[in-house]
Amino acid sequence: MASSSRAALPRIVIYHQTVHDPNGTHISILPLISQPGIAVTHIIVAALHVNDDPNALTLNDHAPVDPRYITLWAELRIAQASGIKDQSSFEAYYAPVYNTIKERGLDGIDLDIEEAMSLGGVIRLIDRLRADFGPDFLITLAPVAAALLDVRRNLSGFDYEALEVMRGSQIAWYNTQFYCGWGDASTPIMYEMIVARGWSPDKVVIGLVTNAENGAGFVPWELLRANLTLLKFQFRQFGGVMGWEYFNSSPGGKDKPWEWAQRMTTLLRPGEDAGLGEPSTTGVVDVSKTSSSGVQVADPDLGISVDVPVPTDFDYFSDFSAED
């Protein structure tokens, strides 16, 4: 599955964490299937939290079996039937994660490790997941972009370059966070630096905030379109984009959040939608987090008229909370 999923490039990945509005009304993902001109490749349902009590695994703030998630799990079955796959320390903590993946029939897992963890520990987890769920099970990780350039600029503790050397064959791709001070998606430069360092572009997905309300680093559409068009032209195996998060994605906002996916489909996967083209390798993935505790003008041959500013010295910082 890792090989076939990489063939479907560029990817369009969406995180779905806010599953109810303030009134408790379910936020449906079905428009990603029913609305025209959308070819989302993966939906990440976030976030599974492994808490201090190994038996108290939660999806956001409630147990995965809580009745509030009945509609969500039902919609995921529909998404899977439409060609969208889902991916939802040690034995005591691993068991509830294993059970949830089995019970919900998830297709893989996205490991968003935002507390210090050893290289040996993450390798052990990847090996166990592969052994338990087989070669078709999708395993992705969600590092901050800075971590792919400098091990010291990292939320996860371990060296991602070392992990790629040792277990890269088991990792489908990286949902790389180019926002909140850990990356810059307003120019193509940081992505180019990551590839120049040796990372394969098919494995680096650019993570974006879909709305300025969702975190620092939001990039307006006209500039983003220029950058992504350039990267797709520059790298034939461009890995794609990931959006954090679905429920209020621009330009449609809370009323039409699927419009972000329509724009990305038109830009990156033209001519496709949920029912056209090659069978989608779309996945619903569950995010696993740790516990509580000058001017550069884009190539005119591309028809791009937007000037892309060259950033000043990059200042790495983080302004999100542990719950984000």
Contact predicate 217/184, CB 8 Å: yes
Task: Please report whether residue 32 resides in a domain.
Answer: yes
User: Which domain, by its residues, includes 70?
Assistant: 2-309
Q: What is the pLDDT at residue 288?
A: 39
Identify the H or E element spanning 163.
helix 160-167
Percent of the chain at pLDDT > 70 equals 80
Task: Please report whether residue 319 resides in a domain.
Answer: no
Q: What is the pLDDT at residue 88?
A: 53
The CA angle 33-69-208, to the nearest 5 degrees, is 55
Phi and psi (nearest 5°) for 218?
-65, 135
Task: Please report whether residue 222 resides in a domain.
Answer: yes
CATH at residue 30: 3.20.20.80
Domain count, the chain: 1
**Structure tokens of 37?**
């001109």
Contact predicate 164/28, CB 8 Å: no
Task: Please report whether residue 225 resides in a domain.
Answer: yes
Phi and psi (nearest 5°) for 66?
-60, 140
**Structure tokens of 72?**
């969500």
Alpha-carbon gap, residue 133 to 126, rounded angstroms: 11
Which range is least confidently modeled, 83-87, 164-168, 208-212, 292-296?
292-296
Task: Please report whether residue 317 resides in a domain.
Answer: no
Phi and psi (nearest 5°) for 289?
-105, 165
Mean pLDDT of the chain: 81
At residue 301, the 3 state secondary structure works out as helix
Task: Please report whether residue 320 resides in a domain.
Answer: no
Q: Could you tell me the pTM of the whole model?
A: 0.73
Q: What is the pLDDT at residue 305?
A: 41
DSSP alpha helix (H) spans, 35-139? 70-81, 91-104, 119-133
Q: What is the DSSP string of 173-201?
A: -EEEE--TTS---SSSHHHHHHHHTT--G
Task: Please report whether residue 314 resides in a domain.
Answer: no
Instruction: Give me the residues paired with residue 243 across strands.
Output: 14, 208
Task: Please report whether residue 321 resides in a domain.
Answer: no
**Model confidence at 298: pLDDT above 70:** no
Within 13 Å, how many C-alpha atoms sit on residue 191's CB side?
A: 29
At residue 106, the 3 state secondary structure works out as coil
